[in-house]
Structure 1
């Protein structure tokens, strides 16, 4: 049986925290990581849309993932970061509690996503990544940011 390149190389994920949980997103979707800065609030936007920031002349929406996933009141401190994502040519900011590292997961470390009921829609999960005693909830960030409930479908980069 021949091994393929993906069997040998695995996939890289950016690990970040929201509350007590650790999540991961495909590193290829990440454009940059910035410290949290005050955003300009947009009237009538959903609570999880913190507002917009000017990123080198491009106005981008900023989503607070702690609010989006209903994980309690966000606290903005020196560890809070905005992950700038480039998804299908659209630039979006994502506020998270902190970023820990970039980790490579081999195929045998990826487990299917369990059905979590209404707490977190498993349609936005790729699965779970296991690294020793550590577990990453792997988010399908393309699907999440493109979902109708995010309301970002008409935002252009």
Structure 2
């Protein structure tokens, strides 16, 4: 996995919010950020799967990150956006839209500003958190986008339902 680093060893991250929490994605995984647009619902997909959008002629599945992380759903605001990301699962790259409450900034974090993810017993999955960034007094959860979705979930997201919706 390539990370965007500068000469000092810092890695660039795109930060975004869900509820009151700040999350970050390696900028190398981010293609672009879109204003929220109409999402076409797809029947028989998981709750977190909001539907699909047309991105320059391509069907792109959109995932509500709040629902994926079991954070209460909320009304969309003027700041709601869709972060277009590349997710690698089983050697295949999939383009996904990740719905976020708002995008904050691109942030450089040095290796010494990142701690390993917390160990929280065995009940909570934290393997999709690649680290905890620290800036001032704020913690930023750095996500490993490739580990957030299982192969089965992505297969459901990429499945026949979406192909059928694209043909409507």
| TM-score of the pair, normalised by structure 1 | 0.87
Q: How does 1:1-157 map to 2 (within 5 A)?
A: 8-88=8-88, 89-117=93-121, 121-145=125-149, 147-148=150-151, 151-153=153-155, 155=158
Whole-angstrom CA distance in 2 between matches of 1:52 and 1:110: 34
Q: What is the Cα-based RMSD across aligned positions, in Å?
A: 2.0
- Is there any run of 5+ residues in structure 2 with no aligned partner, and where? 160-168
Q: Deviations over 1:116-157 (max 9, x none)?
A: 357852110101000111210011001113x146x113639x
- Is there any run of 5+ residues in structure 1 with no aligned partner, and where? none
| TM-score of the pair, normalised by structure 2 | 0.82
Aligned residues: 150
Whole-angstrom CA distance in 2 between matches of 1:69 and 1:143: 13
